[in-house]
């Protein structure tokens, strides 16, 4: 199948340029000015008013299948991803069964093969029951089919267990990805996060292991990662859109503002933005975590942790960060596509000739109010509900195949 996207602003490492891009056999075939459209294309799409970027990549989503299909499935989650401009996502292992060995991982990869419309690369669990405690999972048996190892949702409590996990991951050429939560403190206490970030960075240094911190929410964590990088540790981190837009001082008593880690102070929010600007935080992930309406209706005290994010991340960040002059559009593309592809060795993140044709076409002029009733996700609970934003996905393409069209 040969497709030609004509006249759009195309993301290149040195910035956006108005060009044409042709796709053949699932790959970027040519990027140039004025490609002849009478050249055997099955489809020619005018993109004059649109921006064309490498498909977004989310290294932190919960698709809930197998085990919790009433919250989300591989099919609905991947449709939400496509609608949000995402072409590759990495799914967290808090499933039933959790991927802890070859057999349990296969339950999930069989469904992915059948139902996914974007690239889905699962994580394997660190521990044998994905609890942050006990003994290690069968990491070796899963290594070929997982992006990395994590017990997301649970911090690994014992230093010795984390150290073992790092040594095993390293021997398999994989990264340890950590939800940092020291259970000696309540989650509202920022120490619950940064205490483990501090411990893990020293363990990563000692064990010479590649290490990534999930959903960084505190200023102290940003400082620790910055210092770790300065000391030569192979450490990276992500934050999520909600931590960059809201702070704890302004949170209404509604389940759609409840997630773990929680929203922190305005000072933390400013520290996260500073971390993005100086490159300490090189990835933005959504932590897309759908629940049923019933599970999120109980106000702050009685709702489950987690909000969805795939269908709002780009427009929210474009509106709140790029349009307000905090970061450039190019930097946003790096945070949401180029950097996660590089750090996690995932497909995409580039529109150079020969790259997989994983592409998002975005209409940056489109202005609308976020309405969860229009979502493809089964989840509806988002702190961004009702927010006025710019930027709408026009088309998403995975390996040259159109998986979403406005």
Positions annotated as catalytic residues are 287
CB-nearest residue to Zn ion: 179
Q: Give the C-alpha separation, 361 to 192, whole Å.
A: 40
| Omega of the bond leading into 66 within 30 degrees of 0 (cis) | yes
Residue 31 CB partners (closer than 8 Å, separation 6+)? 10, 12, 19, 20, 21, 22, 351, 352, 353
Stretch that binds Zn ion, among 209-217, 265-273, 365-373, 398-406 (CB under 5 A): 209-217
Residue 343 binds Zn ion (CB under 5 A): no
Of the pair 120, 259, the CB lying nearest Zn ion is at 259
CA angle 186, 192, 195 (to 5 degrees): 155
Which residues, 272 to 331, sit near Zn ion by CB under 5 A?
none
Q: Is 69 exposed, middle or buried (0-12, 13-18, 19+ CB in 10 A)?
A: middle
* Distance (Å, whole) CA 389 – CA 318: 8
Closest contact distance (angstroms) between CB of 103 and Zn ion is: 25
Structure tokens at 334: 């790096």
DSSP string, 21-37: EEEETTEEEEEESS--S
- Site stretch for Zn ion (CB under 5 A), options 117-125, 179-187, 248-256, 309-317: 179-187
Least gap, CB of 68 to Zn ion (angstroms)? 16
Shortest CB 50 distance to Zn ion, Å = 34
Task: Please state, in angstroms and rounded to a whole number, the distance separating the CA atoms of residues 206 and 231.
Answer: 12
Torsion angle of alpha carbons 258, 283, 55, 406, nearest 10°?
Answer: 30
Residues 116-175 that bind Zn ion (CB under 5 A): 152
Which residue in 62, 154, 174, 179 binds Zn ion (CB under 5 A)?
179
User: Closer CB to Zn ion, residue 215 or residue 380?
Assistant: 215
Q: Whose Cβ is closer to Zn ion: residue 152's or residue 311's?
A: 152
Nearer to Zn ion, 55 or 261 (CB): 261
Strand-strand pairing, 86-91 and 119-122: parallel
Name the residue nearer to Zn ion (CB basis): 210 or 214.
Answer: 214
Residue 404 DSSP class: E
Closest distance of CB 171 from Zn ion, Å: 25
# of chain residues touching Zn ion (CB under 5 A): 3
Least distance to Zn ion, CB of residue 346, Å: 19
User: What is d(CA 119, CA 233) in angstroms, rounded to the nearest whole number?
Assistant: 30
Stretch that binds Zn ion, among 30-38, 212-220, 235-243, 354-362 (CB under 5 A): 212-220
Provide the minimum distance between the beta carbon of 386 and Zn ion in the complex, in angstroms, as a whole number: 26
Task: Rank residues 65 and 287 by Cβ distance to Zn ion and give the closer one.
Answer: 287
Q: Which residues bind Zn ion (CB under 5 A)?
A: 152, 179, 214
């Amino acid at each position: 199948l040969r497709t030609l996207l004509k006249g759009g602003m195309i993301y290149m490492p040195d910035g956006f340029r108005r060009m044409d891009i042709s796709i053949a056999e699932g790959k970027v075939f040519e990027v140039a000015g004025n490609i002849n459209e009478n050249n055997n294309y099955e489809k020619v799409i005018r993109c004059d008013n649109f921006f064309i970027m490498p498909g977004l990549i989310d290294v932190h989503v919960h698709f809930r299948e197998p085990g919790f299909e009433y919250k989300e499935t591989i099919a609905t989650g991947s449709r939400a991803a496509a609608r949000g401009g995402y072409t590759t996502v990495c799914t967290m292992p808090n499933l039933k069964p959790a991927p802890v060995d070859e057999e349990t991982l296969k339950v999930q990869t069989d469904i992915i093969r059948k139902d996914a419309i974007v690239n889905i690369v699962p994580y394997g669990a660190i521990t044998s029951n994905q609890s942050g405690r006990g003994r290690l999972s069968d990491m070796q048996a899963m290594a070929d089919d997982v992006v990395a190892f994590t017990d997301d949702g649970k911090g690994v409590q014992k230093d010795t267990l984390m150290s073992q996990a790092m040594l095993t991951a390293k021997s398999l050429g994989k990264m340890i990805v950590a939800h940092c939560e020291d259970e000696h403190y309540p989650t509202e206490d920022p120490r619950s996060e940064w205490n483990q970030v501090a411990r893990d960075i020293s363990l990563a240094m000692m064990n010479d292991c590649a290490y990534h911190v999930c959903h960084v929410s505190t200023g102290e964590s940003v400082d620790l990662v910055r210092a770790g990088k300065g000391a030569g540790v192979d450490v990276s981190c992500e934050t999520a859109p909600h931590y960059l837009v809201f702070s704890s001082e302004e949170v209404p008593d509604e389940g759609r503002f409840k997630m773990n880690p929680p929203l922190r102070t305005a000072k933390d929010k400013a520290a996260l933005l500073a971390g993005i600007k100086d490159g300490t935080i090189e990835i933005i992930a959504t932590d897309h975590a759908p629940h049923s309406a019933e599970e999120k209706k109980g106000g702050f005290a009685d709702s489950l942790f987690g909000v969805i994010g795939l269908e709002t991340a780009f427009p929210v960040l474009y509106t709140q960060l790029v349009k307000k002059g905090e970061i450039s559009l190019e930097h946003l593309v790096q945070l949401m596509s180029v950097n996660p592809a590089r750090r996690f060795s995932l497909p995409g993140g580039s529109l150079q000739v020969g790259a997989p044709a994983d592409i998002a076409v975005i209409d940056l002029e489109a202005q609308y109010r976020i309405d969860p009733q229009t979502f493809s996700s089964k989840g509806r609970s988002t702190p961004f509900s009702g927010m006025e934003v710019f930027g709408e996905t026009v088309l998403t393409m995975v390996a040259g195949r159109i998986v979403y069209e406005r």
